[in-house]
Chain A
Amino acid sequence: MAGALVGPATLAVVLGLLVPLAILFRYSLNRFVPGRLMVDALTVENYVKFFTDPYYMAVLVRTLRVSAVCMVLCLVMGFPLAYALARTRSRWKSAVVMLVVLPLFVGNAVRAAGWMVMFGSRGLLNTLLGVVGLIDHPLQLMYTEAAVIVGITAVNLPFMVLTLESVVEGIDPAIEEAAASLGARPLQVFRRVILPLAMPGVLAGTILVFILGMNAYATPILLGGPRFQMMGPLVYGQFAGLNNWPFGAALSFVLMAATLSLSAVSNLLIQRRYRR
């Protein structure tokens, strides 16, 4: 009985995703011969190619760097909002939570479009800077790493806010009041009381945001331009542009291995340090 009810969903996930992933992994061990496309083989040369070619390593390093910067920005910008949301008793709270959540589902292309309006050569930021008199000629803001970082940070910020909000809600405000009544200044309360107690959420949120940054696709394409390569667009290019399945498959697995191992390590850390 139970099997008949869970079976179809399980089958859908296994056939729909896990089997394809297994096949993809097998293909990552195949050989790519220009003109004949994929040739059966059992070789790790695609992985070797990735880790020895300076071009691909530069893409990986850039992806890691952008993700790390975005992660820090998300933490710094997300904490005040998460804290304010967790502590407020305003009747607008659920409306604000909704505003935080909505952009998540609108899609990254639409949000990148907003930043294109901001950063274009005749965009809002260049116009404002010109009006104020800070610049004579429009700055090149589009197609820069900074634009990509701003875009990815904005895309991932809601995840950080929601994760942090739920841990802060679990911290009894009485603890903060006790610290304050014992003479701690607000910043000390934050550093010595709130932050240590919120640490599991901070870890979970930063790792989540880092992973999402690594897998970004639309934002680097639209704000970074065709020459700005990150891992997501690189994978797509191997399939769509070059038809190099074995190498594209290997890239997918490098990306997924990085993603999964990071989340596994963070889960382990959180469980070991904060198990009650």
Chain B
Amino acid sequence: MTAGRVALRVAAGLGLGFILLPLVLVSWLSFFRDEVVVFPPSGYTLRWFRAILDQRNFVDGFVTSLEVGVFAMLAGLALGVPASLTLARYRFAGRESLGLLLLTPLVVPGVVAGTAIYVFQVETEILTRLPLVASLPGLVLAHVVITIPWTVRLVTASLVGFDRAVEEAAQNLGAGPWTTFRRVTLPLIRPGVVAAALFGFVISFGNLEMTLFLIGPGRTTLPIAILQYLEWRIDPVIAAVSLLQILVIGAAMVVTDRYVKLARVL
């Protein structure tokens, strides 16, 4: 191996190390026996993982994030899958701009989207007297806006090379539109749909900047509970919570990667 190759490997390793270092440190801290950050730790323990259960904020936040993530993912699929199928196969005026429109939430900064949706929900609340801000439906409605573009992107990616002749064949053989969809189209796009489901969940579960505006007393999501705790202190308890979030998201992504190569769709 030449010196240049070694240098390249070292530089690449440094880059990777820099990306992973914070996750490694926070995971390490979660096993410290000491209650504060001190190096080297006096020993290791698993008790902080049980201590999480005493912190209602984290338990409630986790449940809320889970609920919001699942509902936003399902709604994202229900809205996004038919839309991407239509965009991929019908030619109609404005098709391209419609496709771009569905992707716009990806380019709007999270803080800006959050303020806009917050203002909108407050005004809607005043008009209709329906409680929206800091409610579960309010959070889901906001998160659907960010799960739709990812669904569209992933399902569209899985439609590349899709041969419409199979569907026509099914219909020629007497299958109705719904049967065709269920028995022919859906199995073919399943990898994209599964990836969209997991990805939508991950995106919603981890969202922080936009959600920040939409929570209230008594209802926070896990990433925000973590942020608020960290503004106050860092200790092994928060590190244990962080490690759990890393594991939940990591598991979802390993499964996603089996269906759609993540590096291809980002």
| CB–CB A19/B120 < 8 A | yes
* List of 3 A-B pairs having minimum Cβ-Cβ separation, nearest first: A114-B22, A80-B11, A81-B15
Q: How many residues of B contact A (CB 8 A)?
A: 89
Contact pattern, B 216-244, Cβ under 8 Å of A = 1, otherwise 0: 00000001001100110010001100100
| CB–CB A9/B102 < 8 A | yes
Contact pattern, B 117-142, Cβ under 8 Å of A = 1, otherwise 0: 11110010000000000000000011
| CB–CB B21/A154 < 8 A | yes
Give the number of residue pairs across the A-B interface with Cβ within 8 Å: 274
| CB–CB B111/A215 < 8 A | yes
Within 8 A of A (CB), among B200-222: 202-203, 206, 208-209, 212-213
Say whether chain B's binding surface is mostly helix, strand, loop, or mixed. helix
With A166-B263, A222-B230, A249-B115 already in contact, 17 other A-B pairs whose C-beta atoms are closer than 8 Å: A5-B83, A12-B145, A13-B105, A16-B141, A17-B145, A78-B15, A103-B22, A105-B203, A105-B206, A107-B223, A107-B226, A112-B230, A117-B25, A117-B234, A215-B109, A215-B110, A236-B111
**A239 touches which one: B2, B115, B206 (CB < 8 A)?**
B115
Cα-based distance from A66 to B83 in the complex (angstroms): 39
| CB–CB A256/B112 < 8 A | yes
* Least CB separation from A131: chain B residue: B39
Residues of A that sit less than 8 Å from B by CB = 1-2, 5-6, 8-10, 12-14, 16-21, 23-24, 27, 77-78, 80-81, 83-85, 94, 96-118, 120, 122-124, 127-128, 151, 153-154, 157-159, 161-162, 165-166, 186, 211, 214-215, 217-218, 221-222, 231-232, 235-236, 239-240, 245, 248-249, 252-253, 255-256, 259-260, 263
Given A17-B108, A103-B19, A124-B39, A2:B86 Cβ within 8 A = yes
Contact pattern, B 144-167, Cβ under 8 Å of A = 1, otherwise 0: 110011001000000000000000
Given A103-B20, A235-B112, A117:B226 Cβ within 8 A = no
A-B contact pairs, 5 of them (CB 8 A): A2-B86, A80-B15, A106-B245, A127-B40, A252-B116
Return chain A residues, CB-CB under 8 Å to B75.
12
| CB–CB A120/B234 < 8 A | yes
Given A107-B223, A107-B245, A245-B119, A114:B25 Cβ within 8 A = yes
Q: What distance in Å separates the Cβ of A168 from its nearest Cβ neighbour in chain B?
A: 12
Q: What distance in Å separates the Cβ of A127 from its nearest Cβ neighbour in chain B?
A: 4
| CB–CB A16/B117 < 8 A | yes
Cα-based distance from A252 to B117 in the complex (angstroms): 12
Return chain B residues, CB-CB under 8 Å to A161.
15, 19
